[in-house]
């Protein structure tokens, strides 16, 4: 009789051997340079994560940029900013282009550097010398001058909030030549030089008048960024006026502040704030991450009016509009291990986000469940975690339940092993993890030819479910994965709602090998 061990199945032979180790020391598959850059651009905030430092992220980005064509870098910068809503990585990619392909930088500059914050990020990175130069250079300087000329006086004034560098620092570097009296006064005001106050834009004059006012409540609060007002003596009436004119993001971030200053004592203002939060046009314009709404809802004081808290849930429904409703059996596997309890955007002294990787994973799982009530959520750490969720509950409620699970080790194959134990049938398996699986990783070494246990278990699942697909959503800036990219496996990174669009493509059968990279390569230059 034939050797059953030797000839038991060809499934494993068709599964590629692992060719790398992840940051936790487990077997893994290395991403190609394009795949790695896509992952870094969609999740990297240049802050230290659970496993790697900010410097290591930077070095990895620069290393892979040397291995791809400049056109891909340009398209990736557009994708990361326009669809991933990232700030640091798109600016870094533009800085790389300033050395590798100045012409391409000119093509994409205004679309990637689309705000004063992005402009300051770009200048900071250029002057740091990380891309091989410490001066701006003639072309970047010209692009910045054109950028300044294309913005109105009011836009520049409102965008002057922030330091290191400040907008004033940028002006001192590029020496723009004002073409109007108001622009001349604005530049003088910003850099602290003598200027004609009467020539300043109307909004700036209102702001200066408000600052000089010694009779609080008698002068209208100017419509300027929140940060410009907080150091000034403000009355309850002033705070209500601020709430009336606040931007969507400012409103989301300052609900408890408004509560402390009596803003919600006015039912009229409370209703106005609620209607702003649930406004579809404003939600889209704000480029809100779904997890930011989870944070706002979780952190909102119970004394915040119920209509305002309900509006955050309405906004969540708008923010997750790209989540597909699929006519198949879906399993969602959020990673709740120890590393997932770290800040999703990394550690930064004085500005570390309170949002954990776990919160994002929980939110993705709860969101998919809301749109697909027959889906099954299988949280995992070193083993699967049993948790009861009601698809009729709100996304925010279910996400909170998942995020309360205690930490443990990382075993990405555990959900698949559980499904195989049950001999479960299914069409779509979705992982949300940082891919740092190690509990299930035997010590094969470089020459042992081992496969990740995730791929072993997926092969068994596929034997029962030949048409099944797997989507691995990675929310950390790492360059390895537990599942090798192929026609039935899609690896995608990020925590914007763009991952839901890609998920919808896969669910609709519109995926291909290297689907995410192909999406990036379709960006128009």
Residue 379: strand, helix, or coil? coil
Q: 187 with 248, same domain?
A: no
In a domain? residue 79: no
Q: 291 with 333, same domain?
A: no
Q: 479 with 340, same domain?
A: yes
Q: 505 with 398, same domain?
A: yes
Q: 484 with 371, same domain?
A: yes
In a domain? residue 215: no
In a domain? residue 78: no
Q: Tell me if 399 sits within 8 A of 430, measured CB to CB.
A: no
Q: 264 with 370, same domain?
A: no
What's the DSSP call for residue 13? G
Q: Which residues form the domain of 147?
A: 86-158+162-199
Strand partners, 384: 380
**Distances from the Cα of 188 to the Cα of 167, 181, 203, 251, 288, angstroms:** 12, 11, 16, 31, 35
Q: 308 with 327, same domain?
A: no
* SS3 track for 240-261: HHHHHHCCHHHHHHCHHHHHHC
In a domain? residue 513: yes
- Name the E strands within 31-183: none
In a domain? residue 387: yes
For residue 165, is the peptide bond before it cis, meaning its omega torsion is within 30 degrees of 0? yes
State the Cα–Cα distance between residues 184 and 286, nearest whole angstrom.
31
In a domain? residue 441: yes
* Long-range pairs of 176-185 with CB within 8 A, sequence gap ≥ 24: 176/145, 176/148, 176/149, 179/149, 182/153, 183/153
In a domain? residue 511: yes
| Two tokens, residue 507 | 């669910």
Q: 464 with 435, same domain?
A: yes
**HSE (side-chain half, CA atoms, 13 Å) at 474:** 29
Across 151-162, b (16+ Cβ under 10 Å) vs e yields eebbebbbbbee
State the Cα–Cα distance between residues 511 and 331, nearest whole angstrom.
18
pLDDT at 33: 96
In a domain? residue 308: yes
Q: Tell me if 456 sits within 8 A of 4, measured CB to CB.
A: no
State the Cα–Cα distance between residues 174 and 136, nearest whole angstrom.
9
Residue 389 belongs to a domain with what CATH number?
A: 3.40.50.410
Q: 267 with 413, same domain?
A: no
**Distances from the Cα of 296 to the Cα of 59, 201, 265, 310, 387, angstroms:** 34, 34, 20, 11, 24
Q: 277 with 312, same domain?
A: yes
Query: Considering its fold, how many domains does the chain have in total?
Result: 3
Q: What is the mean pLDDT of each run of 10 residues along the chain (525 residues)?
A: 44 70 92 95 84 88 96 97 91 96 96 95 94 89 96 92 91 94 95 92 90 73 84 87 90 94 95 96 84 83 94 87 83 95 75 78 91 94 94 87 91 97 96 94 57 94 95 93 94 85 85 90 93
pLDDT at 375: 94
What's the DSSP call for residue 227? G
Q: 469 with 510, same domain?
A: yes
Q: 168 with 191, same domain?
A: yes
């Amino acid at each position: 009789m034939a050797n059953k061990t030797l000839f038991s199945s060809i499934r494993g032979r068709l599964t590629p051997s692992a060719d790398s180790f992840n940051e936790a020391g487990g077997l893994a598959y290395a991403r190609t340079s394009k795949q790695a850059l896509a992952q870094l651009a969609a999740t990297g905030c240049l802050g230290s994560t659970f496993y790697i430092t900010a410097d290591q992220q930077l070095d990895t980005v620069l290393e892979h940029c040397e291995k791809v064509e400049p056109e891909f870098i340009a398209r990736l910068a557009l994708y990361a900013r326009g669809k991933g809503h990232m700030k640091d990585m798109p600016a870094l990619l533009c800085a790389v282009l300033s050395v590798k392909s100045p012409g391409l930088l000119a093509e994409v500059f205004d679309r990637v550097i689309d705000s004063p914050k992005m402009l300051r990020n770009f200048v900071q990175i250029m002057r740091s010398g990380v891309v091989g130069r410490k001066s701006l250079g003639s072309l970047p300087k010209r692009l910045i001058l054109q950028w300044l000329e294309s913005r109105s006086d009011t836009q520049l004034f409102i965008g002057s909030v922030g330091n290191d560098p400040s907008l004033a620092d940028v002006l001192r570097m590029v020496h723009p030549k004002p073409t109007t009296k108001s622009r001349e006064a604005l530049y003088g005001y910003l850099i602290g030089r003598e200027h004609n106050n009467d020539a300043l834009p109307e909004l700036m004059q209102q702001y200066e008048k408000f600052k000089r006012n010694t009779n609080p409540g008698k002068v209208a609060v100017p419509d300027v960024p929140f940060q410009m007002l907080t150091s000034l003596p403000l009355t309850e009436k002033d705070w209500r006026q601020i709430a009336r004119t606040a931007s969507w993001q400012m409103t989301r971030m300052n609900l408890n502040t408004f509560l402390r200053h009596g803003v919600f004592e006015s039912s009229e203002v409370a209703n106005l704030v609620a209607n702003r939060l649930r406004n579809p046009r404003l939600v889209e314009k704000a480029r809100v991450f779904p997890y930011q709404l989870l944070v706002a809802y979780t952190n909102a004081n119970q004394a915040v009016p119920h209509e305002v808290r309900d509006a955050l849930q309405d906004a969540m429904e708008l923010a997750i509009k790209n989540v597909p409703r699929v006519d198949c059996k879906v399993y969602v596997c959020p990673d709740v291990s120890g590393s997932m309890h770290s800040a999703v955007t990394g550690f930064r002294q004085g500005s570390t986000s309170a949002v954990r990787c776990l919160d994002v994973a929980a939110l993705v799982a709860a969101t998919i469940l809301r749109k697909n009530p027959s889906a099954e959520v299988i949280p995992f750490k070193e083993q699967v975690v049993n948790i009861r969720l009601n698809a009729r509950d709100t996304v925010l409620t279910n996400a909170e339940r998942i995020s309360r699970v205690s930490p443990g080790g990382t075993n990405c194959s555990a959900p698949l092993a559980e499904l195989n134990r049950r001999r479960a049938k299914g069409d779509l398996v979705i992982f949300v993890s940082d891919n740092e699986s190690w509990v299930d990783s035997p010590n094969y070494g470089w020459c042992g030819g081992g496969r990740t246990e995730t791929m072993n278990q997926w092969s068994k699942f596929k034997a029962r479910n030949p048409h099944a697909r797997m989507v691995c959503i990675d929310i950390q800036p790492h360059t390895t994965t537990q599942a090798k990219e192929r026609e039935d496996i899609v690896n995608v990174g990020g925590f914007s709602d763009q991952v839901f669009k890609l998920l919808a493509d896969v669910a609709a059968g519109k995926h291909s090998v290297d689907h995410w990279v192909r999406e990036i390569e379709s960006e128009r230059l």
